[in-house]
Structure 1
Amino acid sequence: MERLDVQLTTLQQDFERYKASVSGSVAGLEPETVLVIVIAGSVNEFRQAVEAIGLEWMGEWDIDDIPPDEDFFERNTKGERTNKAIKGRMFLSLGNEAGMRELLSLWEKWRDNKTLPSGKTKWRDVFNQTVQIRRWGIEEALRETGMLDRWQDLLNPINPAEAIRFQIELFYRRSEDRRRQSERNVATLLQAAGGKTLGGFIDMPEIAFHAVKAELPAERIQQLLNDLESESHDTDIQLFKFHGVMYFRPTGQSLAVTEDGEGVDTEIAEGVVDLPPIAAILDGVPNVQHQALKGRLLLDDPDNLSAQYQPGDRKHGTAMASLVVHGEMADGQADPLPRLVYVLPIMQPDPHSMNRSEHVPDEVFFEDRIARAVRRMFEGEGAAPAQAPTICVINLSIGDPSRPFIHTPSPWARLLDWLSWKYRVLFCVSAGNYPEAIDIALSGTDYLALTDPKKVEHVLKCIQAQLSGRRILSPAEAINAITVGATHADNGGNYYQGQRTDLLPGAPLFSPAARLGHGFRRSVKPEILFPGGRQLYRTPVLDSQTVYQPDGGLAAPGQQVAWDSNQAGALSKTVHTRGTSNATALATRSAARIYEMLDALRGDHEDSIPQGLISVLIKALLVHGAKQDDDACEAIAAALKTRDNSRQFKEVMSRYLGYGAVQIERVLACTEQRGTVLGCGEIRENEIHEYRLPLPPGLSSSQEWRRMVVTLAWFSAVNPNHRNFREAKLEMSPANNWGTLPLKLARQDGDHNQVLRGTVQHEVLEGTDQIAAFQDGDSILLHIACKKDATARLDDAIPYGLAVTLEVAEGIQIPIYEQLRTRLQPQVAVSAVGGTP
């Protein structure tokens, strides 16, 4: 209680100082402040309590990193106090002077054990659980976004009059009038500080995003930094204290950095395709005349960004297109897709960067370019009709290096989720690369003395120490998207090692240069891994040096890709590259191959898969081929499993491996011992859809190893104003529970709670125990249930895809595929229980 007394007194004093400082700075500006209330545990339906005292609800989110103290802590099973971080929630609300007075009045009543007024009793629970209450300010708006450090580094060599550009993100006000007033206030405060906006404000109500690009003279930024280092730790520049600003963020940063180099001439078979595209790429401009790409891309460049490029600039777009079209080449040999690939550029070279790396310019929003691009595909733009309405999957092999995921989805991620829902299209998104060094804390001699398994164990512990810096990059946290991580693998064979070191030798693990999960609400992110090339590190010159820098060279190992040469007319160059961008392109290619398989099935079974459900079924099948590698799991457990984390170790494992590396060939074709059954549909709130999987009679009384893999994927509407964000929660389960299945299977990969937090539920079950005898005609009953999550009710039906695979080991004389096929109708029957079909 004493702590809260101090905090509320400080809050009141801060507000009084702010009210005095803002007086006269902007005509008609009402002194308001955004309150931050951090609680331990949870309090439901707090929004009504906030609004009951005249505060405007601004949002809430879950947090899991509250440091324990003398008032709030957890106990272990022995009742002993632990140092484990506490889970809780953070509430944001905006209030004026009257709201502040009401809050203080409620606090005084509660402190003095008086009864709280009717309709406001929820504050009793809040005060009981409050860890911290403060004003939203410079700490959140500038320091936590890294802007203060960024400006400190940037300003040293800069002319005081030079313009410094940045992005201002505003709290999203429900009232349009208040949003327009915030815009006028920001413009006025910028002008008062000698700055200006770089264009109009962006206002996207579907994702609650309101922002503007702006600039200030360097001397004003320097003044801010000096002010914050002074004794008062305050500034007179009102822009940085304006209650309407949520964040200041960088703008114009590079999104795709590639190495310089020419590559080697490679003989590549040319070809022309004309089937309409299924896959799209949003990236930089590719070299459409390259031998690997000529006649295979449909380039749509409405902003004529191609004109910004010079020979050699089109490296990233060319490499990504090469991987989507051909996959990993082997000496120029590949298996190209049979369809065109649609490419719409969203990046352009930065003429001010040393190597003209590709970026989105200072005055342009990522969100606007992507929204326009996707709308142009499906609806058209201006007088232009829809340019690629057949698209099912969109590749996004870029991420924002200045915005690692923390707590809540970024505007970019929210946009992808909304677009995915609106157009029923799948995004494959890169988890992001970690380009920093790894300090192994061992001399070269000591490191080389270790066996390969011990090297891997040691380096995994070093990577674990970097986890806070390895968070996935926006927009990889998008819940409707499939986020792709990279394995430390390629098909390049042997290579010349030179002065380079493989820090994860021999282990089928994630790339040491990859970023790692989790996702929003600790969901599985990235969900899947694809090969990203073997990433080597430069061996330190001195034996005593322990820091290993990533090798960015263009020689093997890695994945052979088409490359844009600096020499005009050189159209057959290839190089070897690595990264999660590559892995994502391979995932998109696999999605396109899945489409061809589904299209062939539709030819055999007319109208069995409606066009509106193709993308979500591709999403399910893309994850369906994932399995955590046994050797990878063993290596991670040896390095990282402890007594403290053993009960949650499946969640730890998913942080590094997701649902696992995808074996796409297992998805594209069945074998005699392996059969896959597909389903799809649209489900409404409180409905249950039933699927019956016939039991192959060959398994009756069997003791043979068997595996069942079940994958459910869906596209959810999203609510950016709710802490849960995802409106629809689907869950697939047996009629009873997994442990009672007649096949006597046990869950293998994935924590049973974590797999329900996103929009893909992937279950891998195996067994070897004796199966009881069953009758031919018996089946497994699977239920798909739909519940509301971040909404009062679900207004729309939710599209979903389902895949179920049953298998025994190769060579076992049980014809699983044939026994499933003969016992299934052309479509798995679906019915609605407890709802309207």
Structure 2
Amino acid sequence: MAREAGLEVFSEEELEPFEEYPEGFLPAQGSETLPRTLYATIPTIASFRQMLSLWRAHQRDETAPNGAAPWWEVFDLLLELRPWGPEDRLGEDARTIIEDRLAFTPDDDQISIEFEIWPTESAAKRKKWREEVELRVASRAGTILDRSSISETGFVYEALLVELPCMAVREMLANPNDINGLASIEGIQFILPQTIGQALPNGSDKAEDDNALQGTFDENAPIRVALLDGTPVAAHRALDGGVVIEDLHDLVPLSPVSQRYHATAMASLILRGDLQADGAPLTDTRLISVPVLIDQESGAETAGNRLFVDIVHTTLMQLIGTDEPVAPDIFVVNFSIGVRDGHFAGRISALARLMDWWAATEGLLFVVSAGNVGSLVLSRTTTTAVENADVTSRRMNIRGAMRNTIFNRTLLAPSEAMNVLTVGALSLDLTHHASPQQAGIFKLEDDGEFVPQVTSAVGLGLKRSIKPDLLEAGGCLEVRARPYGHDVKLCSVDRSSRTGLVTASPPGQNAIQKSRGTSPAAALVTRSLLRAAESLTGEGGPYEGRELTRFQNALLTRALAVNAARWPQDAIDLYEEERARLGKNQHLRAKEEVCRYFGHGYLNNLLMCESPEGGVTLVGLGKIRKDGAQIFRMPVPPSLSGEKLPRSMRVTLAWFSPVDTSRAQYRLAALKAATINEPNDEDDGNWGFDMKSDGLDENIIKRGSVWSKRLKNRVQTIPEFDEGANIPIRVECRDASGGGLSPDDDISYAIVVTLQVETEVQFDIHQEVEQELRVRLS
């Protein structure tokens, strides 16, 4: 309606309702509800005055003047009309972070601040507003460190990174409404602390590895994966021949070789996995490393004089976006980087928007670590009580503490992005470590349990979508319990040689380290994606001998990963606990709570590359448009007809949705699958095998850009099928934004279906389906 009234809508944000406030949290001014929708527009001053006059007339219940009826339709939806002001540009979260960075800093020192300009498509407006910011910064003895102006179809970003005297920033915070102040500039959308991407070493002291490594890398293999991180030690014997470093931003000389921990570990895990549990090199790909961070003793960080969003965008442009791309064959980007203090609070970050745009436009699959969060405070207890508690009691206390501090443990940007694969970490090693534990150090889980690391950031994502998408082993996390006033603080043991994933390490060619956290978990998922892509086109694969496009590789492997994720028993136990805690008729919220920690589940790597025992996995590709539908026909194994067998089925769709930040419904395209044949048929929901939903509800799986439904029946007889029968799986596409999706947009997608008999049988379902498909193709 706002557009029909002639406004250029820059952003429309739908704020999520709070169903349960954590301990100690109350809405502002005692309100019981929070505003749901904010329309942000910037008309001219004259047009705003006219609009304000109309608004006042509407508030007096006057009839709309001639030609103003569209305005009355807009006003009927509004609670308040006011210009975008300092309190909007300088939000409470940003203010708090800036104040923390200012603490104990002299007035004459400098601090870096980012100014994001309204993302209008008008280059002239953006230039005018940028120049006004530059003038006011100069008047306060500030310096422009970096500028970014990105104007692509579907993504606009205009920003300045400035260095200001601390006194000037303190004045802005103290009096944001000053008409001549920085926060009152019309063209500013947000004033933010500098976006600092960081990757912590989180490893043990290095040691020498005398074990022989399996195989070598093919130096002529295509480059299919990009690592955006610090600088790896490419000459390490675990990486030699598999890594190409492209120093697009002149950062390599700034990273001492002895400090190149993080990128070296990530490259090692991608190319060889855990060096003790696996160690086999990828045979069909090499890795290109583009340093976007500077390695130092405390970890890797972004350059202090650059806008991180601009660094990432220019990196991707040079890799695949020019007429002479540096790495045209890449389809997956490993991004084990989190933004410091960048906790997701409902508003998607510019970096996440950038990744969503690249995914939808170019078919890049970003694998992003969910982020690592800090220590956890357990209230009203003692270190002795915590150390001596049994695992069940300790876990109940930890879950309560995490619920009460949920706003400080949310996803770190850019892992909230809709089109990326967000990875959380299980407290799990891939090799057995038998060294004795030191006094005061303990694990939070029993051996064999699949529990998220207590430091792994939790979801949900944008519009309560499932985030993280899945979990992977992130190394066994040990903790110490330390007194904290009348409470206890659980602190992770970051440097330990007892636990963790075994990776390459600087500085020498044989050094190894132990790595823990969401970063190594994401790297292992990237490795699984690359191996799955190889199996798709390799001998015996469904696309044997074919060269898949970037979009096809990205979507197929993304769908396979989610389809291969399983809730472990610990997730099911958590669901039952949440149902008991929340009370009757709260099963949906209970499942959402499980998704915060487990997403779709723990990744079963074998199921990405082969069918399960007693089952078959089918994959497919397609393109679809708004309100369109396509039908895939899954052959029915003849031996199943009329048999009383426990069976399960999983159907997963993955697509890269176009996005529009000017709409509250940021995601434009929503896909789903149904068991119907013709448009007038009804979906009975049992998928032809008399099965019902087992796992996540439709209301949860429909929110993101992956749709994955699981069904099961353990006791009833399978219906009888005629020879040559098949199950129609109808893929449908709708506009999820209320008008933003063009009917001319092709939405590429992948579908993965797994049918499994969960008992030993004398026949081979995989072979029967394969034979039926051969008959169809002949």
Match of 1:334 among 241, 264, 279: 279
Residues 213 and 747 of structure 1: is their aligned pair in 2 closer, same or farther, counting only changes over 3 Å?
A: same
Residues 375 and 129 of structure 1: is their aligned pair in 2 closer, same or farther, counting only changes over 3 Å?
A: closer
Please state if 1:714 is matched with 2:661.
no
Residues 265 and 601 of structure 1: is their aligned pair in 2 closer, same or farther, counting only changes over 3 Å?
A: same
Conservation of the 8 A alpha-carbon contact between 1:163 and 1:216: yes
SS in 2 for 1:762: strand
Please state if 1:109 is matched with 2:109.
no
Summarize the alignment of residues 631-670 of structure 1 with structure 2, pairs less than 5 Å apart.
631-639=570-578, 641-643=581-583, 645-670=586-611
Tell me the equivalent position of 2:376.
Answer: 437
Could you report, residue by residue, the CA deviation over 1:575-619 in whole angstroms, capped at 9, with x for unpaired residues?
212111111101100000001101115877567674352221111
Tell me the equivalent position of 2:637.
Answer: 696
Tell me the equivalent position of 2:15.
Answer: 63
Conservation of the 8 A alpha-carbon contact between 2:375 and 2:490: no
Tell me the equivalent position of 1:427.
Answer: 366
TM-score (norm 2): 0.90
Tell me the equivalent position of 2:760.
Answer: 811
TM-score (norm 1): 0.84
Match of 1:287 among 222, 233, 238: 233
Match of 1:747 among 674, 686, 693: 693
Please state if 1:512 is matched with 2:451.
no
Please state if 1:598 is matched with 2:598.
no
Tell me the equivalent position of 1:462.
Answer: 401
Conservation of the 8 A alpha-carbon contact between 2:653 and 2:707: yes
Could you report, residue by residue, the CA deviation over 1:322-353 in whole angstroms, capped at 9, with x for unpaired residues?
1101112227x5222114432333334377xx
- Please give the alpha-carbon distance, in whole angstroms, between the structure 1 residues aligned to 2:608 and 2:67: 56
Count of residue pairs brought into register by the alignment: 751
Conservation of the 8 A alpha-carbon contact between 1:279 and 1:394: yes
- Please give the alpha-carbon distance, in whole angstroms, between the structure 2 residues aligned to 1:87 and 1:240: 23
Match of 1:574 among 512, 520, 538: 512
Match of 1:675 among 594, 601, 616: 616
Residues 674 and 281 of structure 1: is their aligned pair in 2 closer, same or farther, counting only changes over 3 Å?
A: same
1:320 is displaced (CA, Å) by 0.3
- Please give the alpha-carbon distance, in whole angstroms, between the structure 1 residues aligned to 2:19 and 2:723: 58
- Please give the alpha-carbon distance, in whole angstroms, between the structure 2 residues aligned to 1:650 and 1:828: 42
Tell me the equivalent position of 1:410.
Answer: 349
Match of 1:776 among 717, 723, 726: 723
Summarize the alignment of residues 723-802 of structure 1 with structure 2, pairs less than 5 Å apart.
723-735=664-676, 736-737=682-683, 739-768=685-714, 769-790=716-737, 791-802=740-751
Conservation of the 8 A alpha-carbon contact between 1:318 and 1:563: yes
Could you report, residue by residue, the CA deviation over 1:374-426 in whole angstroms, capped at 9, with x for unpaired residues?
22222458xxx322212121111112123222333322112112222232221
Summarize the alignment of residues 303-318 of structure 1 with structure 2, pairs less than 5 Å apart.
303-318=249-264
1:763 is displaced (CA, Å) by 1.1
Give identity over the alignment, percent. 26
Match of 1:551 among 493, 501, 512: 493
SS in 2 for 1:744: coil
Please state if 1:532 is matched with 2:474.
yes
- Please give the alpha-carbon distance, in whole angstroms, between the structure 1 residues aligned to 2:741 and 2:612: 46
- My pick for the range that moved more, 694-703 or 819-828, is 819-828
SS in 2 for 1:655: helix
Conservation of the 8 A alpha-carbon contact between 1:403 and 1:473: yes
Could you report, residue by residue, the CA deviation over 1:479-522 in whole angstroms, capped at 9, with x for unpaired residues?
22111111221223244322213234454222211111111221
Conservation of the 8 A alpha-carbon contact between 1:676 and 1:803: yes
Conservation of the 8 A alpha-carbon contact between 2:428 and 2:450: yes
Tell me the equivalent position of 1:834.
Answer: none
Tell me the equivalent position of 1:6.
Answer: none
- Please give the alpha-carbon distance, in whole angstroms, between the structure 2 residues aligned to 1:422 and 1:543: 52
Residues 649 and 604 of structure 1: is their aligned pair in 2 closer, same or farther, counting only changes over 3 Å?
A: closer
- My pick for the range that moved more, 573-582 or 137-146, is 137-146
Please state if 1:497 is matched with 2:437.
yes
Conservation of the 8 A alpha-carbon contact between 2:172 and 2:182: no
Summarize the alignment of residues 190-589 of structure 1 with structure 2, pairs less than 5 Å apart.
190-205=137-152, 206-225=154-173, 227-228=174-175, 234-235=177-178, 237-251=180-194, 253-259=196-202, 262-270=205-213, 271-274=216-219, 275-330=221-276, 334-349=279-294, 355-380=297-322, 385-439=324-378, 441-448=380-387, 450-493=389-432, 494-498=434-438, 499-505=440-446, 507-540=449-482, 545-565=487-507, 570-589=508-527
Residues 441 and 279 of structure 1: is their aligned pair in 2 closer, same or farther, counting only changes over 3 Å?
A: farther
Conservation of the 8 A alpha-carbon contact between 1:626 and 1:663: yes
SS in 2 for 1:110: helix
- Please give the alpha-carbon distance, in whole angstroms, between the structure 1 residues aligned to 2:195 and 2:35: 35
Match of 1:153 among 92, 100, 104: 100
- Please give the alpha-carbon distance, in whole angstroms, between the structure 1 residues aligned to 2:535 and 2:499: 31
The one-letter code of the counterpart of 1:247 is: F
- My pick for the range that moved more, 315-324 or 151-160, is 151-160
SS in 1 for 2:685: helix
1:527 is displaced (CA, Å) by 1.1
Tell me the equivalent position of 2:24.
Answer: none
Could you report, residue by residue, the CA deviation over 1:153-181 in whole angstroms, capped at 9, with x for unpaired residues?
34444343322221111112232211111
SS in 2 for 1:48: coil
Residues 425 and 667 of structure 1: is their aligned pair in 2 closer, same or farther, counting only changes over 3 Å?
A: same
Conservation of the 8 A alpha-carbon contact between 2:121 and 2:151: no
Residues 420 and 309 of structure 1: is their aligned pair in 2 closer, same or farther, counting only changes over 3 Å?
A: same
1:647 is displaced (CA, Å) by 4.0
1:680 is displaced (CA, Å) by 0.6
Tell me the equivalent position of 2:556.
Answer: 617
The one-letter code of the counterpart of 2:629 is: I
The one-letter code of the counterpart of 1:257 is: L
- Please give the alpha-carbon distance, in whole angstroms, between the structure 2 residues aligned to 1:398 and 1:169: 22
SS in 2 for 1:807: strand
The one-letter code of the counterpart of 2:451 is: L
The one-letter code of the counterpart of 2:190 is: Y
SS in 1 for 2:46: helix
Conservation of the 8 A alpha-carbon contact between 1:169 and 1:246: yes
Residues 723 and 342 of structure 1: is their aligned pair in 2 closer, same or farther, counting only changes over 3 Å?
A: same
Tell me the equivalent position of 2:25.
Answer: none
- Please give the alpha-carbon distance, in whole angstroms, between the structure 2 residues aligned to 1:659 and 1:348: 31
Conservation of the 8 A alpha-carbon contact between 1:459 and 1:503: no
1:561 is displaced (CA, Å) by 1.3
Residues 276 and 67 of structure 1: is their aligned pair in 2 closer, same or farther, counting only changes over 3 Å?
A: closer
- My pick for the range that moved more, 422-431 or 656-665, is 422-431
Tell me the equivalent position of 1:41.
Answer: none
Conservation of the 8 A alpha-carbon contact between 2:567 and 2:601: yes
SS in 1 for 2:476: coil
1:821 is displaced (CA, Å) by 1.5
Conservation of the 8 A alpha-carbon contact between 1:435 and 1:513: yes
SS in 2 for 1:786: strand
**Backbone CA RMSD of aligned residues:** 2.9
- My pick for the range that moved more, 281-290 or 726-735, is 726-735
1:665 is displaced (CA, Å) by 0.4
Tell me the equivalent position of 2:112.
Answer: 165
Conservation of the 8 A alpha-carbon contact between 1:699 and 1:814: no
SS in 2 for 1:595: helix
Residues 170 and 827 of structure 1: is their aligned pair in 2 closer, same or farther, counting only changes over 3 Å?
A: farther
SS in 2 for 1:312: helix
Please state if 1:144 is matched with 2:92.
yes
